[in-house]
Chain A
Amino acid sequence: MTTIDTSAQTRADEVLVPAPRPQKRSFLDSTPAKVLLPAIVLATAIGLWEISVQAGLVNPITVPAASDTFIALFEMMQTEYFWAATWLTLQETLLGFAVGSSLGLVIGALTGTFKVFRTAIWPFVVAFQNTPRVALAPVFLTWFGFGMTSKVVMAAVICFFPVVINTVAGLASVDDNARVLFRTYGASTPQTFFKLTLPTAAPISFAGIKTALTLALLGAIVGEFVGAAEGLGVLVKEFNFQLEVASGFAVVVFLAVIGLVLYGLIELLERRLITWQH
């Protein structure tokens, strides 16, 4: 095939792209800075915490020293009941997340795709979204009992809404021009869904799923606070009742780590699945 020789002409549109100028990279943009500075902040915070307890600025009965907290955590990690509680809370969280976010995806997809669903369901989504859903925890305890189920339901209910809302928003974000383009190619409804709608909605929907995982942990803990025999939430409550504040704090620190790890894992999954976000 003969091609048109355009090489003699100036490629105006490329000439106009500014050549990358050697930028002065600030120290703050470098990797050492990004690790070092937060580390300094953390160390300072822990240091201030330790010093203020040791110096008697706060009551050590209500606020344990940083060192006592970490010792308590270390000791707890040698016990069986701690890991049993961790495993239970994790199960509640992940089951609640799985149920809540899958339901959220289904309801969100229906609401975002079919006008009849949108008209019928959307007002209730908005209403429930603005209701403090943790208030339902005692109700779920009555309905589903002291065991795991009431916590799974609480976690599911909390993490359901961000997924619904983000999925609907994602589906609504499909560019009208892109729809027109697909029509000119005579794309079928499934083709338009899989080649256009789904990839457009995925990043926004996934942002909701990320929020949902963090919220599921919150839901499980709240459920345990309201009434449970086991779990990390129960441990926090019990230790505080018994004025073992160092152990109570230790569990909170551990919960923070769990939250971070879960978030890290889901972000890893996001990067795997949605490679076109930048």
Chain B
Amino acid sequence: MTKIESTFFDIGYMDRLSTQETPIHRLDPRAKLLTTLIFIVVVVSFDKHEISGLVPFFVYPVVMIALGNLPLVYLLKKILLVAPFAFLIGIFNPLLDRELLIHLGPVGISGGWISFASIMIRFTLTVGATLILIASTGFNAVCMALEKIGGPRVFAIQLLFLYRYLFVLVDEAFRLVRARSLRSFGGRGMGIKAFGSLVGHLLLRTLDRAQRIHLAMLSRGFDGKIRLMRPSKMQIADICFILGWSTLFVLMRLYNIPQFIGKLVAGLVQ
């Protein structure tokens, strides 16, 4: 069951990345959360045939990866891993939209291919930004940020609990699956019936655990309200981070920089 194992290590690895000490990691989680959201909205607001205008946006992930000391290759691999869905839907564009739009000498490129390329670029940018947010901030901090910018508390707490017990439950599931596969002697998949009782079993254990956790909470004075002590300090650096990037994003949305550079170069050549 390599999938469970790899997921396990994956989450753990992302978590470890988020505990680094870099200028990016030190920023307030809210600043990074807001900036990521603004980035994504600006990126997807481009027209579907846009390519050159999207290119400058790579500056954000690149700077974050460099300053945040994040592993580029690992993040790229993760992006590739989830690419199939966007690819599958996007690949219809070249088939359906065959109008030739660009002529590069003798070669004509159809609108479909352009919008397909645009989809893949957007996909890389938005997914990259999300992964960078987690790797530079950590999931728990993102949850607290969510709560601080006005998300419902019950939901934030729920996310924290889920994340806490993810590790325990994935480990438990892994042990169950291993125990089964060791006794199934190369029998490949698992039928629905076996799956039902294996997962049902895991579910019963989960319910028992929930009860024990509740008991542990009660023993320490839990009264239905979770209190968290997190001093919140948005500093000037955080505000500059949000404003700086947002301004840049908007400018990059308004002005097509590659086009400008291209013209400049072309002018020089002539």
On whether the two chains bind one another, the answer is no
List residues of chain A with CB under 8 Å of any chain B CB. Answer: none
List residues of chain B with CB under 8 Å of any chain A CB. Answer: none
